[in-house]
Amino acid sequence: MARVAALLALAAVTGTAPAIAQNQSATTSMPVIGSAPQICALQPPRMAPGAQTNFRGLSGETLQIDQMADSTTLAANAASASIQFEAVCSFPHRLRLESQNNGLWRTNELATIPTGGFTYAVPYRAEVSWAGVNTALDADALSRRVSDRRVTIDRPGAGTLELRIEIQQGASNVRANAPVIAGYYGDTLRIVLEPQ
């Protein structure tokens, strides 16, 4: 009988006490979820303050040289400009600099190569600083083709992408200081932030 009584007493304790403890507080949890997809974005360009020589400035996404050739020697004039883009890539990525023509080429003369020692394409250099990485593309104008430079960046990047375009005095695809043949010259430079 003593054993039975003890068992009953134990049952009463174990059956009652936890129920009270459980119900003296009640907690409800609600998860909060979201995601941040992989993105790369470049905002429209703007001129870096006080950083251009012999350029007329930026019109939309066009950068126009003011005086491309010296009026006396007809050699290419030096020119330089710095452009900034607000940019972000939220994941490890790749920067690609791509020159459509590998230099400044006459836009209305696609195949004819003039004779007489004239410069018919003007080389330039594009330097980029982005996410702690500096790189450059030399568009040497030795042949008309797509040329590019690719850099792997193993981390996200955010901030300002700096682009500097520089044309050397007397730059030529023939010889230094060769006179530049008349024409309208141009190139398309692409800056691409993309997955690796």
Partner 1 sequence: MARSLTLAAGVLVALSAGSAAAQSATDTKSFTVTGNVPALCSGGTIAGTGSTFDLGVLIDTTTGLLRTDLAAPPKVLTGSFCSSRSTITVNATPLAAQNFTATAPAGFSRTVDYTATASGWTPTAATFATGAGSNPGAVQTRPTAFSGDITVAIGTFSTNGGSGLRLVSDTSYLGVVTVTLAVAN
Site residues (vs partner 1, CB under 8 A): 20, 23-39, 41, 43, 88, 90-91, 155-159
User: What distances in angstroms separate CA 17 from CA 20, 22, 26, 172, one per listed residue?
Assistant: 5, 9, 16, 93
Q: How far is the CB of 128 from partner 1 (least distance, A)?
A: 17
Residue 1 or 36 with smaller CB distance to partner 1: 36
Nearer to partner 1, 43 or 64 (CB): 43
Q: Considering the complex, what minimum distance in angstroms separates the CB of residue 95 from partner 1?
A: 15
- The nearest distance, CB 178 to partner 1, in angstroms, is 45
Which lies closer to partner 1 via its Cβ, residue 145 or residue 155? 155
Cα(38)–Cα(2) distance, rounded to whole angstroms? 72
- Structure token digits, residue 62: 């066009």
Rounded CA separation 62/45 (Å): 10
| Strand order across the 93-99 sheet | 147-153, 93-99, 189-194
- Residue 141: CB minimum distance to partner 1, A: 35
By C-beta, is 41 or 113 nearer to partner 1?
Answer: 41
Rg (CA), the chain: 33
